[in-house]
Structure 1
């Protein structure tokens, strides 16, 4: 699988989306609106929840 973002870029984009949306990000919603972000997130993390958890840890 070819990735187009670094893990830091993935985490940053997820954080930015979360701030913009103001609500938890649903996998289905992100997959539809930003498939490139989802593809890269699932490359670096075992699942979408793990990617979200990493974003929360980075914000703390």
Structure 2
């Protein structure tokens, strides 16, 4: 499977979206940032888990 981002890049991108006030709803991220979603689900069991990981550091 082609994974465009590393796990660290996934966390950084999620934090960037949060900082900019962007929506982190799974459906919206999947539509707007498909590479981010694909990579996040490769490294984490769920999108929610990736978002939680980005908040804890």
What is the TM-score of this pair, normalised by structure 1? 0.88
**Which runs of no fewer than 5 residues in structure 1 stay unpaired?**
none
Aligned residues: 57
Compute the TM-score of the two structures, normalised by the length of structure 2: 0.92
In 1, Cα distance between the equivalents of 2:13 and 2:50? Answer: 11
Query: Alpha carbon RMSD of aligned pairs, Å?
Result: 1.1
For residues 9-37 of structure 1, give each alpha carbon's deviation from its aligned partner in whole angstroms, at most 9, with x where no partner exists.
00000000011126x51000100110110
5+ residue gaps, structure 2: none
Runs of at least 4 residues off by over 2 Å: none
CA deviation digits over 1:2-60, x for unaligned, max 9? Answer: 111110000000000011126x51000100110110000000000000000100110xx
| Residue 26 (structure 1) aligns with | 25
